């Protein structure tokens, strides 16, 4: 950043008003890199020079970001002569340049971003960006699927234009219903007016998320905290991502789509964590901390060989495989498809794009999952690492699947949830879309660095909200 005036530096860091800090400087109470400075207009490099007031260092933060769990009864304003404002709830009241990003009504609770980053605030609030805002509401009246269809088309709330399409999910439909709603604009009293348009009344409203930022369960109402660097980076990426892309763009030149299964089509990776604990526990072992990383991408057979060698088990490799299959069969039958998977598969079929699976799991478990969900006919080939020499991150299984589908690697798009799988797809010279999964949440940055696209769910693809990396 460019150099800034010393009095501005100190005032923005809450040392006092501009006139107060000028007086402090002139009295010789301020040093820059150990030298007393008595001229308020002196320029300082906030990143390289050390500013001290009365012997204590004053660190400069150019941009700050707070997440507030706004309670009801507080207004979303920087100052108000009669009401308590959201800024009054922050523990650090020194800064004079903070403001809430958007407004929550006085009686509305939930997530509110407070910052001094005007550029980011503009991007998050810009109607052209269509940034998701998710709400939870209690509604007087029975909310129906017909309401959800109306919201999905856009609602006439008396403005010049109907609202943008919104996603209404019904949690309970009674005389007092519970719902979640995702909107992509921020009109005045929008959620309340949308329900009024269908003859119902919002009696409680709470914002759960804005873009990639979600209200954590451990942040009590009225409390706030600074955003982590990861949260800040995700928000900025979210704004860039919100330039909507059509599915046609992603699938241009693509003749086949190949999916990993575990963590990609189904949220099943936790099953193997449980099995590792149970299985190794029988032989007196605890699960090593680095085990997950060590076996990532290995085929079913390679993993069994690794266990046999590392833990000196009194079992043959085939016996280990059969034990794991017996332990996992019933667990797998209870695992749902990830949100939007079926719809995306059907869309690929409609477009005439060939579809395959290239999994590190056993063929028996893969086929049982497809059969249990009734989607086996949506796949043109099902391949596992057992059919090739090396598991992931080697490209073998993806190249083999492409061969079975009769397409060139460059004509394929891969969906994967872990870095080793993404790397396998890239080594096969294929485009790769990384898929959000709780099991690999700590690897998000690595996944983004390797992949071409990123989705939080398959509905991102159908709505054009996937991220181009």
Pairing mode of beta strands 467-468, 453-455: antiparallel
According to DSSP, residue 266 is labeled B
pLDDT in tens, 150-205: 999 899 999 988 998 899 999 999 999 999 999 988 888 999 999 999 999 999 99
Q: Is 217 exposed, middle or buried (0-12, 13-18, 19+ CB in 10 A)?
A: exposed
- The Cα 183–Cα 167 span in angstroms is 7
Q: Residue 333 has what pLDDT?
A: 81
Reading the block at residue 214, the tokens are: 């979600």
Q: Given the residues 45, 80, 105, 429, select the one marked as catalytic.
A: 105
DSSP string of 148-182, one letter each residue: HHHHHH----SSSSPPPP-EEEEEE-SSEEEEEEE
Percent of the chain at pLDDT exceeding 70:
98
Q: Under CATH, domain 65-241 is a member of which superfamily? A: Pseudouridine synthase (3.30.2350.10)
Yes or no: say if 25 and 38 are a contact pair by the CB < 8 Å rule: yes
CB atoms within 10 A of CB 387: 15
- The Cα 224–Cα 91 span in angstroms is 8
Q: Under CATH, domain 4-57 is a member of which superfamily? A: RNA-binding S4 domain (3.10.290.10)
- The Cα 91–Cα 93 span in angstroms is 6
Reading the block at residue 383, the tokens are: 């391949």
The answer to pTM > 0.85 is no
Same fold for the pair 4-57 and 65-241: no
Q: Sketch the domain layout of the chain as residue ranges.
A: 4-57, 65-241, 244-469
452 has catalytic annotation: no
CATH of the domain spanning 244-469? 3.40.50.1000
In which band, very low, low, confident or very high, does the pLDDT at 224 lie, cut at 50, 70 and 90?
very high
Reading the block at residue 23, the tokens are: 């007086």
Reading the block at residue 339, the tokens are: 């949100």
- The Cα 408–Cα 387 span in angstroms is 19
**How much is the average pLDDT of 57-83?**
90
**How much is the average pLDDT of 113-131?**
86
């Amino acid at each position: 950043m460019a150099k800034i005036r010393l009095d501005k530096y100190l005032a923005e860091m809450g040392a006092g008003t501009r006139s107060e800090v000028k007086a402090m400087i002139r009295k010789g109470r301020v040093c820059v890199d150990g030298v007393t400075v008595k001229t308020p207009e002196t320029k300082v490099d906030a990143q390289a020079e050390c500013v001290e007031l009365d012997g204590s260092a004053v660190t400069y933060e150019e941009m700050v970001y707070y997440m507030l769990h706004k309670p009801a009864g507080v207004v979303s304003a920087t100052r108000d002569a009669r009401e308590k404002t959201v800024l009054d709830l922050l523990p650090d009241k020194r800064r004079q340049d903070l403001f809430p990003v958007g407004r929550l009504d006085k009686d509305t609770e939930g997530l509110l971003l407070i910052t001094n980053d005007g550029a980011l605030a503009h991007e998050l609030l810009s109607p052209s960006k269509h940034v998701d805002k998710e709400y939870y509401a209690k509604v007087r009246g029975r909310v129906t699927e017909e309401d959800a269809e109306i919201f999905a088309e856009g609602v006439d709330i008396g403005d010049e234009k109907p609202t943008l399409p919104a996603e209404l999910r019904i949690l309970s439909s009674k005389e007092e219903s519970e719902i979640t709603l995702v909107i992509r604009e921020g009109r005045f009293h929008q959620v309340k007016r949308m329900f009024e348009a269908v003859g119902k009344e919002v009696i409680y409203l709470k914002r759960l998320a804005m873009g990639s930022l979600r209200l954590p369960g451990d942040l009590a109402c009225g409390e706030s905290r600074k955003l982590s660097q990861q949260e800040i980076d995700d928000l900025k990426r979210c704004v860039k991502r919100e330039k909507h892309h059509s599915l046609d763009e992603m699938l241009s030149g693509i003749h086949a789509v190949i999916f990993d299964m575990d963590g990609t089509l189904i949220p099943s990776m936790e099953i193997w964590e449980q099995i590792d604990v149970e299985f190794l526990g029988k032989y007196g072992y605890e699960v090593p901390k680095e085990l997950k990383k060590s076996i990532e991408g290995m085929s079913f057979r390679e993993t069994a060989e690794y266990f046999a060698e590392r833990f000196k088990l009194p079992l043959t490799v085939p016996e280990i495989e059969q034990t794991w299959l017996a332990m996992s069969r019933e667990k797998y039958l209870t695992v749902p498809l990830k949100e939007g998977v079926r719809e995306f598969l059907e869309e690929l079929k409609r477009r005439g794009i060939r579809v395959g699976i290239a999994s590190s799991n056993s063929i028996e478990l893969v086929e049982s999952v497809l059969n249990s969900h009734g989607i086996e006919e949506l796949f043109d080939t099902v391949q596992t690492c057992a059919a090739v020499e090396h598991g992931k991150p080697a490209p073998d299984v993806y190249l083999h699947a492409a061969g079975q589908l009769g397409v060139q690697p460059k004509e394929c798009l891969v969906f994967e949830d872990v870095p080793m799988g993404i790397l396998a797809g890239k080594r096969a010279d294929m485009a790769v879309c990384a898929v959000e999964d709780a099991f690999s949440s700590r690897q998000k940055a690595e996944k983004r660095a390797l992949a071409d696209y990123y989705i939080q769910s398959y509905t991102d693809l159908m709505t054009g909200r996937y991220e181009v990396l």
